[in-house]
Structure 1
């Protein structure tokens, strides 16, 4: 059999790509307006113009633990739908809000309750320790101003716990007061 150094290069590139993808996905994070239809299974194809992910890299969110942050991909579309259900704001209202909302995360002290919600949501997703969260979708049922996860009967599944993190985030934002002064917050002021 003929030896080809090119095949070795191809193997290294393929394995490197697989490894990088696996390392980039392990534990993700941080985003609202009209009510969601009852008994909704959220899919990207159902999204409207106000439910798009935060500007920048599509579907990239950032996790922060102990003052260190890491960008990771996840399904932001469903999070946008949950936020729209619980508040009257769009996802864009929370991009670059405070120190922990959106694509960046800096410091260890939130500037207000909305920012604290984003930090808690980051921690919730970090604690899931699930792989491939960017491909994890869930189903939920909404009635009035309350949603429940209907994805799996197993409350330990990544789908169910991902849904729970998003719903807790929506509930937290609903109780918090949005402050326009913290939108496009200068992260150099985060400590």
Structure 2
């Protein structure tokens, strides 16, 4: 609960304006929020969506949007496995025509994290946001989860 509150406060206190061609360099969580705003026009809406969007995650993803978030969690997990810090490492990126792009990144961790965030942005842009899954109760997610080894 504390980490959810921290995440919510962090996201609510951040004022992000993403403009055409503007290069952003901040902390990864904030960068992710910016990328989501760039590609979907939403960011905070995903904080409590389904079983995997936002902080934490358990059970089986509810729909395509939730699967996007689950896959992103797996991507961050792979980054952590090689010693990266996806929630705090920063990277440069830009937004052009509602499409986030990684900047010239030479650090392996920064590139991997940026790629994870870009893939999430693209996936969510294609997925339908279903209001019934916003504020989805965690206890309805169940115990069984898919394996990240498939992604």
Corresponding residue for residue 136 of structure 2: 185
Pair 189,132 (structure 1): closer, same or farther in 2 beyond 3 Å: closer
Deviations 1:1-54 (A, max 9, x none): xxxxxxxxxxxxxxxxxxxxxxxxxxxxxx9x964441403226xxxxxxxxxx
Q: Provide TM-score, normalisation by structure 2.
A: 0.74
How many angstroms apart in 2 are the aligned matches of 1:151 and 1:39? 14
Q: Which residue of 2 aligns with 1:120?
A: 71
> Greater relative contact order: 1 or 2 (C-alpha under 8 angstroms, separation 6 or more)?
2
Gap regions ≥5 residues in structure 2? 1-10, 143-151
Name structure 1 gaps, 5 residues minimum: 1-30, 45-74
Q: Deviations over 1:107-156 (max 9, x none)?
A: 1x2111110011000001111133343431111133212232113246xx
User: Scaled by the length of structure 1, what TM-score is found?
Assistant: 0.59
The question of whether the paired residues in 2 share the 8 Å contact of 1:96 and 1:104 is answered with: no
Separation of aligned partners in 2, 1:120 and 1:78: 18
CA contact (8 A) 1:34 1:88 kept: no
Structure in which a larger fraction of residues adopt strand:
1
Q: Greater Rg, structure 1 or structure 2?
A: 1
Q: Name the CA distance, whole Å, in 2 between partners of 1:179 and 1:100.
A: 14
Structure 2 counterparts to residues 76-155 of structure 1, below 5 A: 76-89=29-42, 91-107=43-59, 109-128=60-79, 129-153=82-106
**Contact kept? 1:42, 1:139, Cα under 8 Å:** yes
CA RMSD, Structure 1 to Structure 2 (Å): 2.2
**Residue equivalent to 1:169:** 120
Structure number with the higher helix fraction is: 2
